[in-house]
Copies of this chain bind each other. A is one copy, B any other.
């Protein structure tokens, strides 16, 4: 089995090291990841600047290819110009910090998996719920089992899995739940500050308002110490509103 690995925390992050090491137990791993941290870049792709690819070593040994672009760039580039063929699966992560609810759309980790899905390659995005994770082993073990399940069952073109794992020792995980993207979102605050020259600037901060109450929602599942597995796709159409809008008679404005 050929596995392409990427992330958004950058090729030097601990999470991608733990992930690649574990996946080597079940397949041939190629790492293509951003040279620098690309958190919250969403599904950004690089069109107006050239990309460069360089070999990256960890502990003096070749680890993978560093691309000075985004996670989605890495997946496109990895499949088109490095592997020169489709891998059996793409795995993105292990992200330092959860990617649930509204964060799913901001996440570079998730976008790497989604880009693979668009290219008709099964994919998994995996995140740990802590920004300073201690339990990479738990997440890596879960991922390996999920990879085998995905390869066995397949996924439709355009669909990938968004997996979030509590930062807990294996025995404290309550179980694995199939979930939907939650609706929890941020109450954003832009903190106003002044630079040493007296000019104002703003830092984005805020709190996630945890509005999800059911265990079949990703955010609620991880809060209750379950692993969350959500199938997501790239079709943004709101079909319910599509039906309702037929009564708007928008053809009349043409």
Contacts and interface: CB of A to CB of B under 8 A. Distances in A.
Interface of A: 37, 39-48, 50-53, 72-73, 76-77, 80-81, 102, 104-106, 111, 114, 118, 142, 145-146, 149, 153, 155-156, 158-159, 162, 173-178, 180-181, 183, 185, 188-190, 192-193, 199-204, 226-227, 229-242, 245-246, 248, 250-254
Given A173-B254, A178-B248, 17 more contacts: A37-B48, A45-B204, A52-B202, A53-B202, A76-B188, A76-B204, A81-B190, A118-B185, A146-B253, A149-B253, A162-B236, A176-B251, A183-B235, A226-B254, A229-B250, A231-B238, A233-B241
Residue of A153, A199, A204 with most chain B CB atoms under a 10 A cut-off: A204
A241 B37 CA distance: 31
A129 to B, nearest CB: 15
A52 B248 contact: no
Contacts of A192: 81
A236 B204 contact: no
Nearest to A203: B50
23 contacts: A40-B47, A41-B42, A42-B43, A51-B204, A53-B200, A53-B202, A73-B204, A76-B188, A76-B190, A77-B202, A80-B190, A81-B192, A102-B234, A105-B114, A105-B236, A156-B241, A159-B241, A173-B254, A178-B245, A178-B250, A180-B239, A231-B242, A235-B238
A53 B202 CA distance: 8
Contact of A238 (B76, B77, B156, B250): B156
A33 to B, nearest CB: 16
Contacts of A203: 50-51
A252 B177 CA distance: 10
Given A176-B251, A202-B81, A236-B104, A44 B42 contact: yes
